[in-house]
Amino acid sequence: MQITTCQHQQFEISNRRVGWHCVLQYSIEADGHCSFTGAANGWMRYQQHGWKIYAQPSDVYSIADISISHHSEMVLHLRQQGVRYVFKRMSFWRTRFMLLNEAEDEIVALLPTVNWGKSSYEFSIQINDEFQELLTPLLSVICLHCAIQSLKMMNGEEIVHG
């Protein structure tokens, strides 16, 4: 799996092994939404204590939710699959983000290359081969979004919201 940064606010995510490609575009407009296209399409909107992910901006029901806990962990709920994951940061100086399933198995780890003077990030990815098929385009985009928002919070920046 590979993540490439384009123009600081766009990320291309591809998994050649499984064969998909997505683009996460931060469109910080007046409403502060994020959109993504490719193997998964959708639209994220910040709401109290987290984000709702919709297939279309006009949709009423979300396809996934991200809620922020008091431990700075993010709980991801994929509604169609009925699955919950926890996204958390490990270590401060050598920051590492992990996505854990309900059994607390590590699905994927994102290791950022952080330049605190800039608002763009690069990531190295470690995928647990046992869970390769679980890492769908939607889940990959959500993980990247959570990592970026966590880095912004650590840097004292405002998170994406509307």
Domain boundaries defined on the chain: 2-154
State residue 77's pLDDT score. Answer: 92
- Alpha-carbon torsion (101, 106, 108, 109), positive or negative: positive
State residue 113's pLDDT score. Answer: 80
Q: What is the 3-state secondary structure (H, E, C) of the chain?
A: CEEEEECCCEEEEEECCCCEEEEEEECCCCCCCEEEEECCCEEEEEECCEEEEECCCCCCCCCEEEEECCCCCEEEEECCCCEEEEEEEECCCCCEEEEECCCCCEEEEEEEECCCCCCCCEEEEEECHHHHHHCCHHHHHHHHHHHHHHHHHHCCCCCCCC
Within 10 A of 82 (CB to CB), how many other CB atoms are there?
Answer: 7
Q: pLDDT digit string (tens) for 19-59? A: 777 777 655 454 556 777 766 777 777 777 788 888 877 77
Per-block mean pLDDT, blocks of 10 residues, the chain (162 long): 62 71 62 66 75 79 85 86 91 85 92 71 82 81 84 72 45
> Using an 8 Å Cβ cutoff, are 23 and 10 in contact?
yes
State residue 42's pLDDT score. Answer: 76
State residue 138's pLDDT score. Answer: 82
State residue 162's pLDDT score. Answer: 41
Nearest to 88 by CA among 64, 67, 65, 71: 71
> Using an 8 Å Cβ cutoff, are 25 and 34 in contact?
yes
State residue 149's pLDDT score. Answer: 82
Phi, psi of 131 (to 5 degrees): -115, 20
